[in-house]
Structure 1
Amino acid sequence: MPTTTLYLVRHGEQKIEDEHEGDSGLSPTGRIQAEQLGRRLAGLQASGTSFDAVHHSSLARAVQTTQIVAGHLPGVAVHACDLVRDRTPVPDTYPVRYRDFFAQVPDDERDPGARALRTAVEHLGAVGERERTDLVITHNFVIGWFVRHVLDAPEWRWLGLNQANGAITVVRWSHDPHAPDDPQRPGRPPALISFNDVGHLDTDPRT
């Protein structure tokens, strides 16, 4: 049965002095987190998990995390992916208590109706004719949306699904070629394999 597995990773810690300036790189702690993440992923690959590609956000903190991680995964294709850049999904309906939060989201980060992130899920979670395992180095809200989707939770419920910097979340889609051909329910429901795994990070670098 073909499967698509995504290892969703939040970038390492951003430079604290620049965290409100948008596109800034990693702090020293973030670089440590990225190194520890890279070693963890290399260990997974050595034990049989074969990564087909690394997709990463084009923001500096994600690019720098990817550069460090890719050094531990020689031969794996790496490319920037606009589908997983930093976005804030703004559902069409949500509890009134979140009105102020959504009102303050900058225009360049807003994803009305989560249209862009729905496209990301559809594209990256697609199941083909063969098994595929991809690494996605992205941002907190993006990972929260993927997890919300997999759990079929209310559209606003990505809020509160916080990922630690350098943590690993794994989601999986599968398709049964012998199942009835129903376009509304293709294959089995997606599964959350693990969430916010920080076992590879030392105590001090966790954020």
Structure 2
Amino acid sequence: MTITELYLVRHGQAGDDGDLSALGREQADRAGRRLSAVAFDAIHHSATPRAAQTAEIIGRHVPAPGHVCDHMLDRTPYPSDRSGYPQGRHSWLDEVPVEERDPDAERLRAAVDHLGATGASDRRELLITHNFVIGWFVRHVMDAPEWRWMSLYQDNCALTVLRWAGGRPPAMISFNVALAGTS
């Protein structure tokens, strides 16, 4: 039985310009030091400045190849049928910028299918991404109703670990563990 472990880390705190703030750089450095003992096969990160900068800083401590990954982009699941979503969340969904909408979570579903797949050998990968992406992965692993991603909050540079083991349902190992004095 092969195992895939995904370590999901939300980017460090961003400033008004979208780059990491001084606190965000410190969070990323602390997270990198805490993760340095883990042998990762790859680091996947979003192209946004806050995620790319977080990956660069963490990568100073984690000797694994890193790259921009389309699956890690900042996306908001955007349902075409809202009947399963709480009524109070409908107006919030209307305000999601068009460029961030992922209709029916099609791309997030593809991300889970691709990154959560087990293969011929064990994998342990670090994903540096955004709050809603992590929420979607956790919602999937917990087999929760689709709207539950909206109620999951990941602190900056906190860690969530998910595991897929061939033939078994995926499992959450940890959720929102502070690595860097997140605040």
TM-score, structure 2 length as denominator? 0.96
Deviations 1:158-200 (A, max 9, x none): 012000000000001011xxxxxxxxxxx111000000000x3
Q: Greater Rg, structure 1 or structure 2?
A: 1
Amino acid at match of 1:102: L
Matched ranges for 1:178-193 at <5 A: 187-193=167-173
Output the CA distance in 2 between the equivalents of 1:127 and 1:90. 28
Aligned to 1:201: 180
SS in 1 for 2:138: helix
Q: Which segments of 5 or more consecutive residues in structure 1 lack a partner in the other structure?
A: 19-23, 176-186
Aligned to 1:152: 143
Per the TM alignment, residue 90 of structure 1 is displaced from its structure 2 partner at its CA by 1.5
SS in 2 for 1:119: helix
Output the CA distance in 2 between the equivalents of 1:80 and 1:56. 5
CA contact (8 A) 2:3 2:121 kept: yes
SS in 2 for 1:159: helix
RMSD: 0.9
Amino acid at match of 1:70: G
Residue 80 of structure 2 is aligned to residue 80 of structure 1 = no
Deviations 1:33-90 (A, max 9, x none): 00000000003x2xxxx2000000000000000000001012x111100111000012
Q: 83-92 vs 6-15, which deviates more?
A: 83-92
Aligned to 2:11: 11
Out of 134, 144, 159, the position equivalent to 1:168 is: 159
Out of 105, 113, 135, the position equivalent to 2:126 is: 135
SS in 1 for 2:99: coil
Aligned to 1:71: 60
Per the TM alignment, residue 132 of structure 1 is displaced from its structure 2 partner at its CA by 0.4
Output the CA distance in 2 between the equivalents of 1:97 and 1:65. 34
Amino acid at match of 1:97: G
How many residue pairs match? The answer is 180
CA contact (8 A) 2:28 2:180 kept: no
Out of 30, 33, 39, the position equivalent to 2:33 is: 39
State the identity as a percent: 56
